[in-house]
Structure 1
Amino acid sequence: MTIIHPHDRSPWSIFLIFLRLGLTSFGGPIAHLGYFRDEFVTRRHWLSERSYADLVALCQFLPGPASSQVGIALGLSRSGYSGALAAWAGFTLPSTIALILFALGIANYGDAVAPGALHGLKVVAVAVVAQAIWGMARSLCPDTPRVSLMAIAACIVLLEPSTWGQISVIAGAGIAGLLLFKPVQATTHDPLPVTVSRRAGVLWLSLFFVLLAVLPMLAKLLPGQTLAMVDAFYRAGSLVFGGGHVVLPLLQAEVVPSGWVSNESFLAGYGAAQAVPGPLFTFAAFLGASMNTGPSGWIGGLICLLAIFTPSFLLVIGALPFWEQLRRSVGMQAALAGINAAVVGLLLAALYQPVWTSAIHQPQDFGLALVAFIALMFWQLPPWLVVVGSGTAGWLLSFIL
Structure 2
Amino acid sequence: MRRFRRKREFATAPFGGPIAHLGYFRTETVQRRGWLKDAEYADLVALCQFLPGPASSQVGLAIGMHRAGFLGALAAFVAFTLPSAVLLVLFALGISLFDSPSTQGLLTGLKVVAVAIVAQAILGMAKNLTPDKTRATIAVIAAGCALLLPGSAGQVIAIIFGLAAGYFFCRSSTTATGGNLHLPVPRIVGIVSLVLFAILLLGLPLLLAATGSSVVVLVDSFYRAGTLVFGGGHVVLPLLHNGVVETGWIAEQDFLAGYGIAQAVPGPLFTFAAFLGTITTVGPNGTLGATIALLAIFLPGFLLLIGVLPFWNSLRQRAWAQAAMRGANAAVVGVLGVLEQEIYQYQTQNH
What's the TM-score once normalised by structure 1's chain length? 0.85
| Aligned residue number for residue 26 of structure 2 | 37
Amino acid at match of 1:346: V
| Aligned residue number for residue 276 of structure 2 | 287
The CA distance in 1 between the partners of 2:176 and 2:280, in whole Å, is 48
CA displacement at 1:158 relative to structure 2: 1.9
Compare 54-63 and 17-26 and name the one that shifted more: 17-26
The correspondence for 1:317, drawn from 301, 306, 309, is 306
The answer on 1:276 being equivalent to 2:268 is no
CA displacement at 1:224 relative to structure 2: 2.2
| Aligned residue number for residue 155 of structure 1 | 144
CA displacement at 1:84 relative to structure 2: 0.5
The answer on 1:65 being equivalent to 2:54 is yes
Equivalent pair of 1:14/1:87 in contact (CA under 8 Å): no
Provide, for residues 293-321 of structure 1, a one-character-per-residue CA deviation record: whole Å limited to 9, x for no partner: 33111111111000001112211111111
Provide, for residues 6-34 of structure 1, a one-character-per-residue CA deviation record: whole Å limited to 9, x for no partner: xxxxxx54333222221121000001000
Equivalent pair of 1:175/1:338 in contact (CA under 8 Å): yes
Equivalent pair of 2:197/2:303 in contact (CA under 8 Å): yes
Provide, for residues 33-58 of structure 1, a one-character-per-residue CA deviation record: whole Å limited to 9, x for no partner: 00000000001110100000000000
CA displacement at 1:87 relative to structure 2: 0.1
Amino acid at match of 1:178: Y
CA displacement at 1:360 relative to structure 2: 3.4
CA displacement at 1:108 relative to structure 2: 5.0
| Aligned residue number for residue 146 of structure 1 | 135
| Aligned residue number for residue 91 of structure 2 | 102
The answer on 1:356 being equivalent to 2:309 is no
| Aligned residue number for residue 201 of structure 1 | 190
Amino acid at match of 2:259: Y
| Structure-2 change in CA distance of 1:188 and 1:300 (3 Å) | closer
The answer on 1:92 being equivalent to 2:60 is no
Kindly report which structure 2 residues correspond to 1:5-84, keeping only aligned pairs within 5 A, or say none. 12-84=1-73
Provide, for residues 267-316 of structure 1, a one-character-per-residue CA deviation record: whole Å limited to 9, x for no partner: 11011110000000000000001112331111111110000011122111
The CA distance in 2 between the partners of 1:192 and 1:294, in whole Å, is 40
The answer on 1:229 being equivalent to 2:222 is no
CA RMSD of aligned residues (A): 1.5
Compare 142-151 and 177-186 and name the one that shifted more: 177-186
CA displacement at 1:116 relative to structure 2: 2.0
| Aligned residue number for residue 376 of structure 1 | none
Greater C-alpha radius of gyration? 1
Provide, for residues 206-251 of structure 1, a one-character-per-residue CA deviation record: whole Å limited to 9, x for no partner: 1111111101111111102211010010111111001110000001
Provide, for residues 152-211 of structure 1, a one-character-per-residue CA deviation record: whole Å limited to 9, x for no partner: 111221222211221111111111111112122425512113121212211111111111
| Structure-2 change in CA distance of 1:188 and 1:19 (3 Å) | closer
Provide, for residues 358-397 of structure 1, a one-character-per-residue CA deviation record: whole Å limited to 9, x for no partner: 22358xx7xxxxxxxxxxxxxxxxxxxxxxxxxxxxxxxx
The correspondence for 1:346, drawn from 311, 320, 335, is 335
Gaps spanning 5+ residues in structure 1: where? 1-11, 366-401
Equivalent pair of 1:95/1:282 in contact (CA under 8 Å): yes
Gaps spanning 5+ residues in structure 2: where? none
The correspondence for 1:123, drawn from 93, 99, 112, is 112
Count of aligned residue pairs for this structure pair: 351
The CA distance in 1 between the partners of 2:97 and 2:206, in whole Å, is 35
